[in-house]
Structure 1
Amino acid sequence: MPSVLFSKIFCFIIFYSFSAGNQINLFQDKGYIKNNIWIWEDLYSSLAEGKTPKELDSLFFGLRQIYFDKNSSEALFTSAMESWQMKISEETGNNMILTGHAGKEKAELKLIRLDNKYKLQVKHLSTGMTFVPLPEKYNHKNGLAYFVNDTYLSGKYTSVEDTTMLIRFNTDGTVTGIPGYDKYSIPVMCPECPRNVNIIHFRNTEKKESTVFIWERDEGKIVLYKLIPETNDVWDNQRYKNSVAGEKFLELIRFPN
């Protein structure tokens, strides 16, 4: 599977820092791209089909997104497990070469423009991955996270148990109306994600505390359950692999847009 191949190839790539100065993004300057953020077409299609995070297991090792910085000649690549920057070193016609270094070894990638898509190729290898642009409102380094939030949750809700409770999940990952929490995130394709449930992280940024819940759709409602991990060892990266739902935390009804 191409995604597994890419995971193995990219494991030796480290963060690459490049002082851009006044340099420009070559593709952006020549009008080849209007959007800065592009995501793996398989992931985009799965989200568009309404698949939930637990159904994205087969996409786990995929390179998820490419972000082009408007003010430099760099591209930020994000996979399921890490992120790294590469310098745009060469551009000819519809091809772009990106380079980085891991010690003395040079890593080189090729981007090929295909109509409104990019096909990412590791040089000298025939396999590749295709990327599609996100809508302009997501032109941000965190654009994929914002897109995921809008796909699954963002909006205004009330509680089934207490209709005076007003909760708003914002695109940028902030939440209001849930006592004790001001941030949320919905992880997809992450190493520690369970394979059998959908999870959501709630955070209290002031206290630097985080709680993980299970979320499910139920006849137009969003139901949150307390999560029972496989182990209580907080240092165990596998503790959520086979999590189960505990007691119900909240049952939410969405307000019409």
Structure 2
Amino acid sequence: MTGSLTGKVALVTGASSGIGRAAAVALATAGADVALNYFSLAEYAEQTAEDIRRLGRKALLFPVDVSVQADVEAMVGETVAKLGRVDVYVSSAVFSEREPFTTANMAGFRKTIDVSMWGAYYGLRAACARMIEQGEGGAAVIVSSPHAQIAFPNCMAYNMAKAALDQMMRTAAVELLPHKIRVNSVYPGWTDTPGERKFLADEAIKQAAKGLPWGRLATSEEIARAVLFLADPGSDYITGTVLHVDGGLFLPWWSQRGSGSL
């Protein structure tokens, strides 16, 4: 896919680390100039921008809270003003707290929804409105999660947000068919990102990974390849779908542990 996005502009949220960072670099490697959104880890965001510039592409940095609609709209507007257009939108910014829902701190619960659901919507809305104005199609990729379908305990707000993103993606894909703007989602499996260290230490993650169906965590680069695939113009006939990159999580892998039946 090298060069397939030459002349295109991508906007990636949550781009300072993890999947967002890897996706931004992958898009730049394919030829896109990239607007990088982040809210924390500023030094990592600067490094990502430098990596992209070393590839010969332009990089803009936006320290923006995606849960603030006006700021997201301003970010998209400035991206178009400085880079000329926007062709690809990637939603990767998230926030999550893990607590039983009956005792959850409501500030964290609401922030999870505000960032993970509303933040994705605000960016999709603003970016796709610009793509419609441009009249040349485009692509949006939502980094969703198996949490959209699997009721992981102590993650109610995150589960709710990701489930909402699935319907957001499909509804947007339907509405944007006349404009040839494709909207798809990626379901990453458990991925080795800095954000996971908020909940578990390295050794605990290493041990837990052995229990996954593929026996390890995904890398951010593996998920980024899926994002690039969906953003690539060569994937023109793919819209309104979910691409699983989850190491077999949705297979009946648990049956391998016993007789093969319930």
**What range describes the TM-score normalised by the shorter chain of this pair?**
under 0.3
**Which structure is larger by alpha-carbon Rg, 1 or 2?**
1
| TM-score, with structure 2 as normaliser | 0.25
TM-score (normalizing by structure 1): 0.25
Work out which structure has the larger RCO, using CA pairs closer than 8 Å and 6 or more positions apart in sequence: 2
Higher helix content, 1 or 2: 2
Larger relative strand fraction: 1
